[in-house]
Each structure stands twice: as C-alpha cells, then as structure tokens.
Amino acid sequence: MGKNEMEAVLMSGNEACVEGALLAGINFFAGYPITPSTEIAEGLARRLPRVGGKFIQMEDEIASMAAVAGAALAGAKAMTATSGPGFSLKQENIGFAAATEIPCVVVNVQRFGPSTGLPTSPSQADIMQARWGTHGDHPAIALMPASVQESLSLTITAFNLAEEFRTPVILLMDEIIGHMREGIVIPQKGEYVIKNRTKPTVPPEDYLPYAAGPNEVPPMANFGDGYRFHVTGLIHDETGFPRGRGSDGDYLVRRLINKVMSRLEEILMVEEIGMEDAELAVVACGPVARSAKKAIAMARELGIKAGLVRPITIWPFPEDAIKVAAKKVDAIIVPELNLGQMALEVERNACGDAPVYRLNRVDAELITPDEILAKIQEVK
Amino acid sequence: MSSQREIRLSGFGGQGLITAGIILADAAIKEGKHAVQTQSYGPEARGGASRAEVIISDAAIDYPKVKEPDVLLAMSKEACDKYLCELQKDGILIVDSYYVKEVPETEAKVFSLPITELAREELGRVIVANIVALGATVQVTGVVGKEALEAAVLDRVPPGTEDLNRQALAIGFQLGCEQLAK
C-alpha cells in the first residue's frame, strides 16, 4: 500500500478537479456538458454513483444551477461545471444562491470568447464575469489554479469556503489547466481539511433561518430535517420572508458583503516569488503565472531583479499584496489572456505608486516566457 | 541546467496521437521524472490535424507548451510540412513512410519508418500504429526507458488488447533498433 499511494499519477486538471471534489465530499453534481469542462461531468457521472452520490445531466445550464442550489439546500455538497457560455447562463441562479446563502461550487473552465468563441482554446476573459456576472451587490469568491495539483487542492478549498461562508464559490480554471496532464500526488486522509456548514442548535420552532450567527453567517438547516423555512431571492428578513422593506435590503446586502470581506485572511491566497528584493513585479494568475515564473528566472540571470505576485484567490482581489508590491517596485507588468481585466484591479490598487504595463494575448495561445521577458526588458 | 526533452507527436485525428502522448508522459512519471502533456485538436473526432506534446524534465516544468521540439513524430504529410520548420536544428525527425513519401530537406536526424505499414502487415491492425510509433520513438530517442513505456502502455490500453499492444511495442522497438544500426 503506502508507497504506491504516494506515487505521482498522471492526470488532467479536469480529472484532478473530480478527485478534489470527491475528497471534499461532493454528493451531488448537476450539469450540462460543454467543452473544455466536459471531462469533469464525465468523471463525476462515473464516480459519484459509486460513492452514493447523485449525478444528473439537466436540460441546460440554467436548470443545472437551479438543481445545484436545491440539492445544497437539502444538505448536499453540490457542484456544477461549465465554460464561458454556460457560465453566462448560470449567472441568474448564482445570484439566487448568493442572495439566499446557498453553499455550492461552480467550476468555470474558461474558453475563448465572447459567445461560442473558440471552444477548444484557452482564455482568462471571465475574470470580471466571475465577479460581476450576476446583478446586484453580492459577495464573490473565485480561485484560479495554475497546475493540475492545484486544481485538486483548490477544488477542496472551494467546497470548504462555500460551506464556511454559505456562498457560491467559483473555481476559475481554463482550457490549459483543464486539459493539460501532469503528475500529481493525491493527498491521503488527514492531509487535507474538510469543513462543513454550521447547523442550527435551536429547536425548529425557534429557528430563524437568516439570523446571522457567528461571523455573520446564519446556521443552515437541511430541508427535510424538520426545520421549515422560506427561501426567496426577494429581500428577506431574519425569518426568510420578504417584507418589501428597504431597511431589510440595507441590512442583508451589507451583511452578505461583510461576511466575506471581514474575514479576508481566511480567503486570500497569494504566491510570491522573489519579491523580497524585486525591483519589478509581474502579476499573473493561472497558466500565465507559469510563463511568468520562468520569465522572472530568465530576467534574474540577466541581472534584473524581477518578482512574481500570483493571485490564487482572484476574488476578493488581494488588494494589499498589490499595494505593498507597488510601493516596493519600479514597474508592474500584468500579462493575461484577455485585453486587460485583472490589470484594472492591479492599476486601481497600485495607486500610482508604480506604473502598470499590460501584456495581452487574444489569439488563443498562451503568453510565452520570452514575451514576458521582452516586456520586462522594455519597461526596465 | 537540467535536461529537458520536448516531443511533438503529430498527424491526423484518429491516429491515437493524444493517447500516445499521454502514455509517453505517464512513462516519464513512472520513472520519477516531471512531465507535462498538452494537445491541440479540432472539434472533429477523426480527420483534421491532431498533435500531442510532451515535455519531460528532471526539474519542475513551468511553461507547459512545446515551441521548438527536439523530437518530432510526423504521421501525416501535412504534419511533417507544417511542423518541420519548428524542429530544433539538431533534432530528431521520425516520419511514417506510409504517409510521408518524401522528407523535405532538413538538418535534423531523419528516421523514415514503415509504421502504419507494419501495423497492418504484421498485426493486421492499423489502430496500433500509434504504439508502434511510440516504441520506435523511444528506441531512437531514449526519452524514457523501455520498461516504463511498456508499463504505461499496458496501464492505458483497453483490457483484452494487452497482447496486441505488447506486440506493437516490440515491433516499434525493433524498427528503431534496425534504423539505429544503419
């Protein structure tokens, strides 16, 4: 046993997402297959029934997001997986889940858009959609893996954050990470943490489903456990019923945002390489960060002190990491597979302390280390 | 500087080149090396261009794509014409002589092998041409060990086809040996 289990196995990012979901305790998946995310649905269609879970292919993305919300209300750890066009369709029900505080995981394996785009080609152009795709002020948590190993570990983290904060969590993958294969080690029990939603401790007759508990998160009863309560996308008070009052809206919307923003230290993950003595920073996420990592190593060989800041949590955006970096370096470069989405956040947080240079590709190819190095040399 | 090998397997969709890429990367992982496998294909299940790429290294691999491979397997004329210019000057080119009748002028070391022909004549199954090609490629390049490759092939092929694939691999190794001896 032992040794074999510790050995690296070859799998794709999408397959690793399936493994991560199973380790996290997923027991419900509803989806509508779409390239380049299909392997996640395929994998869970095979694996979930074997562990007593439910897999259902719905008639479309709207219904699959609704099914995920419903299953989560009944106590399931629920997930769906899609790509850009499907992510657009899911937005209404993602907003419903955010407003009604339903924990669930939505995987978006980004592909080239807009619209049908180039289905088998990569992109990072859903960064803003992951934050603002659904209407109204709402909390957003989104994570971006840069490797197959991280695709597994961040899927577990996504479930944990969803459970702990009672909110949808987006795993923002992309075609490159989703489809590429590399060796990963599947963690053993005890090597990862599993978190579950807080249940009410009061008897059903005393239960106020939307009364904020510790950390502003209301304890959550499973439908079917004897706690009868009302769930609505309308602005509701602590009882869950709508009263049509602006004051309820003020309280609810502020609490939804605050429950996430008041505990950033539990959500924000950033990888930094060489930032201790960096005179120039590259801010990159997902697979582009792999190119950036190589580029800063090449720059250092040429005597240029370059560093990398990689947001792993893309939403909430790690503002302080950028603010600190901007005060330290002479220039910031933001390479991304879109025409400048994360750059907007970097520019906003750099506060003019360091000039921000963009490097963008929208020709369906990954930015290369050479291109980033050339930009480093250009702005240095 | 760690040694890094970059291999591109190219041809038509349906020739099993992506499977071949996965098997090659798997063999490298089995040897405790780092490997990344990527692919590019059209939406068609068969026909059209297909390519799989594998990077094998002693160190962690950052940029996961292959830009200038040092090994190119071309199982179609189109793939050979399209990718030969990207092959490193001192690289290795392996072509399936059934599809690539004439190899363009190149400084690379060329191995023109009857891959598909042998799969058909010796085994009666063109479907294992990818495994013949893998055997030959590994024999002439040494990118992974033959034992690791065989283990990876047997792990990844459908149950019941192990013998067929083992034979295909042996034919590939033999093909590579004969060419190296020349």
Nearest CA distance, B59 vs chain A (angstrom):
12
Give the CATH number of the domain where residue A366 resides. Answer: 3.40.50.920
Does the pLDDT at position A236 exceed 80? yes
A166 inside 8 A of chain B by CB: no
pLDDT band at B46 (very low <50, low <70, confident <90, very high): low
Higher-pLDDT residue of B49, B161? B161
B2 inside 8 A of chain A by CB: no
Higher-pLDDT residue of B43, A343? A343
Residues A57 and A180 in one domain: yes
Q: Is A42 within a domain?
A: yes
Q: B25 and A120 in contact by Cβ < 8 A? A: no
B89 inside 8 A of chain A by CB: no
Nearest CB partner across the interface for B64, out of A35, A290, A297: A290
Residues A163 and A35 in one domain: yes
Q: B61 and A119 in contact by Cβ < 8 A? A: no
Q: Find chain B residues with C-beta within 8 A of A271's C-beta.
A: none
Full 3-state SS string of chain A: CHHHHHCCEEEEHHHHHHHHHHHHCCCEEEECCCCCCHHHHHHHHHHHHHHCCEEEECCCHHHHHHHHHHHHHCCCCEEEEECHHHHHHHHHHHHHHHHCCCCEEEEEEECECCCCCECCCCCCCCHHHHHHCCCCCCCCEEECCCCHHHHHHHHHHHHHHHHHHCCEEEEEEEHHHHHCEEEECCCCCCCCCCCCCCCCCCCHHHCCCCCCCHHHCCCCCCCCCCCCCCCCCCCECCCCCECCCHHHHHHHHHHHHHHHHCCHHHCCCEEEECCCCCCEEEECCCHHHHHHHHHHHHHHHCCCCEEEEEECEEECCCHHHHHHHHHHCCEEEEEECCCCCHHHHHHHHHCCCCCEEEEECCCCCCCCHHHHHHHHHHHC
Residues A21 and A161 in one domain: yes
Mean pLDDT of A108-129: 96
Residues A256 and A349 in one domain: no
- Closest alpha carbon to A174 in A286, A260, A258: A286
A300 inside 8 A of chain B by CB: no
How far is residue B82's CA from residue B93's CA, in Å, rounded to a whole number? 13
Cis-peptide, bond into residue A114, ω within 30° of zero: yes
Residues A117 and A244 in one domain: no
Residues A124 and A243 in one domain: no
Mean pLDDT (chain B, rounded): 93
Mean pLDDT of B27-53: 83
Q: What is the pLDDT of residue A1?
A: 35
Residues A261 and A274 in one domain: no
Q: Is A199 within a domain?
A: no
Q: What is the pLDDT of residue B13?
A: 87
Does the pLDDT at position A80 exceed 90? yes
Q: Which residue has the tokens 């009672």?
A: A166
Nearest CB partner across the interface for A10, out of B26, B61, B65: B26
Does the pLDDT at position A351 exceed 90? yes
Q: Is A197 within a domain?
A: no
Q: Is A191 within a domain?
A: no
Q: Is A364 within a domain?
A: yes
Mean pLDDT of B114-133: 97
Does the pLDDT at position A45 exceed 80? yes
Q: B64 and A176 in contact by Cβ < 8 A? A: yes
Q: B36 and A294 in contact by Cβ < 8 A? A: no
Q: What is the pLDDT of residue B41?
A: 65
Mean pLDDT of A162-182: 98
Nearest CA distance, A35 vs chain B (angstrom):
10
Nearest CA in chain A to B55: A182
Higher-pLDDT residue of B48, A158? A158
User: Of A6, A39, A182, which to mutate for an interface test with B (greatest number of B Cβ within 10 Å)?
Assistant: A182
Does the pLDDT at position B45 exceed 90? no
User: Of A3, A10, A11, which to mutate for an interface test with B (greatest number of B Cβ within 10 Å)?
Assistant: A10
Q: What is the pLDDT of residue B69?
A: 97
Q: What is the pLDDT of residue A342?
A: 98
Residues A370-380 have pLDDT tens digits of 999 999 999 99
Residues A93-107 have pLDDT tens digits of 999 999 999 999 999
Mean pLDDT (chain A, rounded): 96
Nearest CB partner across the interface for B62, out of A9, A120, A293: A293
Residues A176 and A35 in one domain: yes
Nearest CA in chain B to A119: B43
Q: Based on the structure, what is the number of domains in chain B?
A: 1
Give the CATH number of the domain where residue A58 resides. Answer: 3.40.50.970
Residues A179-209 have pLDDT tens digits of 999 999 999 999 999 999 999 999 999 999 9
Asked casually if ipTM beats, i.e. exceeds, 0.90, the reply is yes
How far is residue B148's CA from residue B145's CA, in Å, rounded to a whole number? 5
Q: What is the pLDDT of residue B181?
A: 80
Does the pLDDT at position B2 exceed 70? no
Residue where a domain stops, chosen among A222, A243, A265: A265
Task: Identify the domain containing residue A124 by its residue range.
Answer: 2-184
Q: Is A196 within a domain?
A: no
- Closest alpha carbon to A331 in A291, A369, A299: A299
B17 inside 8 A of chain A by CB: no
How far is residue A234's CA from residue A244's CA, in Å, rounded to a whole number? 8
Exposed/middle/buried for A332, CB within 10 Å: 0-12, 13-18, 19+?
buried
Q: What is the pLDDT of residue B49?
A: 80
Q: What is the pLDDT of residue A4?
A: 44
CA atoms within 13 A on the CB side of B161: 13
Exposed/middle/buried for A23, CB within 10 Å: 0-12, 13-18, 19+?
buried
Residues B50-95 have pLDDT tens digits of 899 999 999 999 999 998 999 999 999 999 999 999 999 999 999 9
Cis-peptide, bond into residue A355, ω within 30° of zero: no
Token pair of A109, please?
Answer: 């394996």
Residue where a domain stops, chosen among A241, A265, A289: A265
Q: B25 and A9 in contact by Cβ < 8 A? A: no
Residue B134 per-residue DSSP state? H
Coil, helix or strand at residue B11: strand
Residues A174 and A241 in one domain: no
Q: Based on the structure, what is the number of domains in chain A?
A: 3
Angle at A21 between CA A20 and CA A25, to 5 degrees: 115
Q: Is A295 within a domain?
A: yes
Q: Which residue has the tokens 């939603």?
A: A197
Residues A72 and A120 in one domain: yes
Cis-peptide, bond into residue A287, ω within 30° of zero: no
Nearest CB partner across the interface for B37, out of A8, A180, A365: A180
pLDDT band at B179 (very low <50, low <70, confident <90, very high): confident
Q: Find chain A residues with C-beta within 8 A of B64's C-beta.
A: 176, 180, 182, 287, 290, 366
How far is residue A91's CA from residue B132's CA, in Å, rounded to a whole number? 48
pLDDT band at B44 (very low <50, low <70, confident <90, very high): low
Q: A120 and B42 in contact by Cβ < 8 A? A: yes
Residues A49 and A151 in one domain: yes
Residues A221 and A286 in one domain: no
% of chain B residues with pLDDT over 90: 87
Nearest CB partner across the interface for B65, out of A120, A182, A366: A366
Q: What is the pLDDT of residue B34?
A: 96
Q: Is-contact B28 B5, C-beta < 8 A?
A: no
CB atoms within 10 A of CB B155: 12
Give the CATH number of the domain where residue B47 resides. Answer: 3.40.920.10
Q: What is the pLDDT of residue B180?
A: 81
Residues A7-43 have pLDDT tens digits of 899 999 999 999 999 999 999 999 999 999 999 999 9
Task: Identify the domain containing residue B128 by its residue range.
Answer: 4-181
Q: Is A229 within a domain?
A: yes
